[in-house]
Structure 1
Amino acid sequence: MLGYDNSRAYGASFKGWSEAGEPVATDQVVAETFSAPEIEPELVAAVDGFLSNIPEGYLAMGDIEKFNEAIANGAFLVDVRETSEYEEGHIPDAINIPIRTLAQNLDQIPTDQPVFVYCKSGYRAAISTAAL
């Protein structure tokens, strides 16, 4: 809907990441500024049909090994939890854009590399990924 065509939700989210024993960071990651894509009204009208025919694995990735591989290959990570949750621990190198501010911060998300969105349970990540 918002012009991003390469974003996915990490289905296991932060809980799955930390329970798998993966590293957790507490430092604030500052995002670069990117140019946000232009929103195309025709795409908004087509969203319902698109979401009804999502290919397997297109919008979500729950496998930690594949997720780590994507990170190693330069995936961009966005934590859409509230800042207080992010500060308690987050996936290293993930920037924090709370879901309620996503539309105002599109210039922090690149359009030329894979983007993975996560939260605590997967709910906010799924909404954010569908919006992107």
Structure 2
Amino acid sequence: MLGIFTAISTLATTWLAGRNEKQKAKIELDKAEVENKARLLRDTNVYNKEWEIAQLRDKDKSLRWLSFIIIASPFVVAIFDPDAVHYYFTVALSGVPNWWIKAFMGIMGAIWGLSSLKNITPAIISSFKRKSK
């Protein structure tokens, strides 16, 4: 009985230590982001400020992971059950309206493409404004 308690407490202690280190690393990352943001704002020669800052804090990462899992799941299932994937693409998707499939693909494109463009667009626009002056 004591061995089980010791094993559980050791496991919990290890988990808590890992969690604390992860939290410390997150705090260090936040601190580095603030310092880099301050450096970029002070530096007048850097023109892609918003893009660099947005890349430091990738807010859409979980959304991209979810969409990747949705897109990649038929390929993983095909390894274990190819007939189910064949059925899914031939029978099940034939009942889905075409506009739904196109809307889904548009959403995936927005998640992967437009979410990155929103970070880069201000830098591109400001560089065109500077060149036109």
TM-score, with length taken from structure 2 = 0.19
Larger fraction in strand:
1
Larger fraction in helix:
2
TM-score, with length taken from structure 1 = 0.19
Bigger Rg, structure 1 or 2 = 2
**Which structure carries more relative contact order (alpha carbon 8 Å, separation 6+)?**
1
